[in-house]
Structure 1
Amino acid sequence: MSQSQTVTRTDADGVATITLLVPGLSRQSRADLTETIRAVAADESVRAVVLTGSGRAFCVGQDLAEHVQALRGDASTSLDVVADSYNPMVLAFAALRVPTVVAVNGACVGAGLGLALRGDLRVAAAGAKFGTAFAGIGLGSDSALASALVHSVGGSRATELLLFPDTFTAETAGEWGLVHHVVPAEDVLATAQQLAGRLAAGPTAAYRAIKEVLATAATDSLEDTLALEGRLQKALGQTHDHIEAVEAFLAKRAPDFTGR
């Protein structure tokens, strides 16, 4: 287990669970989260990741008390943090090559929502509140929230959600496809870890290829998608996991995936 004042990491059976200990994203918590994600990315024993929060919130975006101090100091540089620390944090999480499950234990707002939508799967606590928040404080969007919303719910609903930053529930988020499972609050982390455990026991290289194709499938041409799939399939066809799965199918037994 590794721990800072704002982020903890625990590992079990190939699953790394990263927990945000504070609801607001301060300079320190952003740095700690980015460092933890990068450490996970470099750890070959990790085959799936769970990202969650603690207490009543998953993540409510910028620590506004810290932001007010920056505004009062020099408004012209107060939002340099977007390029300096938000973007590296989101990019690090999105770049993870193993499957990621986000356990939304409570309020998920602003940059917190942008971060959550970069996970591969999302489990949310029943009744948890979601919101874009930015327009409500006179800002546009950051943390790639706009692109994540367009990808998840389409341009029309994304526009409405950003222009009218009203909160909505986990149940509504589930109906819209923003979350995959809505469960009682006490079951959120266990459900997310169960999903991650199932993925950690699966064909890691195949999951990596799936993530790579999905990352560009909505914007690439048909020709580019076919070419990428072809390259990836050729490589996957030579992996232990593919050969093992075919042999297991013929032998009528469960495959033993090793991630190779």
Structure 2
Amino acid sequence: MTDQVLVERRGDVLVLTLNRPDRLNAAPPAMFVALREALADLGGARAVLIQGQGRAFCSGADVAGVALGGDDPGAAVQAALTDGYNPALLAIADLSVPVVSAVRGAAAGIGCSLALAADFCVASDTAYFLQAFVNIGLVPDGGATWMLPRLIGRSRAYEMMMLGERVSAVQAHDWGLVHQVVHDDMLDARALALAERLAAGPTVALGLMRRAVHRAMESDYPTALTAEAAAQRAALGSDDGKEGAQAFLQKRSPTFTGR
């Protein structure tokens, strides 16, 4: 695995750190391949935290060496997205555990998509979110055209994509893009604390929740109700579901084990 992504276990949290601080963590396809590989085997981790080394989360894709020198840069970028970037984002969507992103500085282009692919995005007051593709005659990628209208509505999604202006952390919070904005010196601790809180929760139920939400965004109301009922049955069949029911009956706090 490339050293462009640092992999660390902190208790029950798998911490993945984008590690090109000299380039503001601009991401070549290999970085996202490494992310996908790190997520392929959680090794018992019950939550994932994605962060950037240095003063930026991720300043966007770095495909200059891959595409711009070739005869068909469009085909090269399409291949980089299809084979490198998109599989990592799909791997995040398919996880059975919750995901937190910690964003300071730039979350631009594919970095914006990566940050917002998490279930909870905790942003430093230095953070900003940017879809700058229009400024160079390109279109958003990394799932931005699917994600942004669902998070903030069509009008604000167009504002980000068609005007190509920075959205500050405070504005992003007001719009509902991010979960929380904190002072920069508190970002690492707050994001890890949130990941640890999620890791201590009922892992099976949390995984069922995130998958149900993904499906519900693409289905009608009756289908969502049916899916919820099936998920509830699965949650109650888990060890944590049984523990939660016993704790409720015994009027005590449950102790979840992630099974």
Pairwise TM-score range, normalised by the shorter structure: over 0.9
Output the CA distance in 1 between the equivalents of 2:134 and 2:88.
22
Output the CA distance in 2 between the equivalents of 1:152 and 1:26.
26
Output the CA distance in 2 between the equivalents of 1:168 and 1:33.
26
Output the CA distance in 2 between the equivalents of 1:30 and 1:231.
33
Output the CA distance in 2 between the equivalents of 1:172 and 1:151.
17
Output the CA distance in 1 between the equivalents of 2:238 and 2:74.
52
Match of 2:3 in 1: 5
Shift in Å at residue 174 of structure 1?
0.7
Letter paired with 2:220: S
Question: Are the equivalent residues in 2 in contact too, given 1:127–1:171 (CA < 8 A)?
Answer: no
Match of 1:97 in 2: 96
Shift in Å at residue 163 of structure 1?
0.5
Match of 2:169 in 1: 170
What do residues 221-249 of structure 1 show as CA deviations (whole Å, max 9, x unaligned)?
A: 11211111111111222222122112212
Match of 1:73 in 2: 70
Question: Are the equivalent residues in 2 in contact too, given 1:105–1:189 (CA < 8 A)?
Answer: no
SS at match of 1:224: helix
What do residues 201-230 of structure 1 show as CA deviations (whole Å, max 9, x unaligned)?
A: 110111011111100222211121111111
Match of 1:224 in 2: 223
Question: Are the equivalent residues in 1 in contact too, given 2:94–2:211 (CA < 8 A)?
Answer: no
SS at match of 1:78: helix
Question: Are the equivalent residues in 1 in contact too, given 2:97–2:203 (CA < 8 A)?
Answer: yes
If the length of structure 1 is used for normalisation, what is the TM-score? Answer: 0.92
Letter paired with 2:15: T
Output the CA distance in 2 between the equivalents of 1:87 and 1:27.
10
**2:17 matched to 1:15?**
no
What do residues 63-122 of structure 1 show as CA deviations (whole Å, max 9, x unaligned)?
A: 15435xx22222243312111211112111221110000001221001111111110001
Q: Which runs of 5+ in 2 are unaligned?
A: none
Shift in Å at residue 35 of structure 1?
1.5
Match of 1:123 in 2: 122
Letter paired with 1:59: C
- Identity between Structure 1 and Structure 2 (%): 38
The count of aligned residue pairs is 253
Match of 1:38 in 2: 40
Shift in Å at residue 134 of structure 1?
1.3
Question: Are the equivalent residues in 1 in contact too, given 2:50–2:102 (CA < 8 A)?
Answer: yes
After the TM superposition, which of the residue ranges 51-60 and 230-239 deviates more from structure 2?
230-239
If the length of structure 2 is used for normalisation, what is the TM-score? Answer: 0.93
After the TM superposition, which of the residue ranges 247-256 and 149-158 deviates more from structure 2?
247-256
Q: Which runs of 5+ in 1 are unaligned?
A: none
Letter paired with 1:159: Y
Letter paired with 2:192: Q
Give the root-mean-square deviation of aligned CA atoms. Answer: 1.5
Question: Are the equivalent residues in 1 in contact too, given 2:30–2:84 (CA < 8 A)?
Answer: no
SS at match of 2:41: helix
Output the CA distance in 1 between the equivalents of 2:164 and 2:86.
22
Output the CA distance in 2 between the equivalents of 1:219 and 1:76.
30
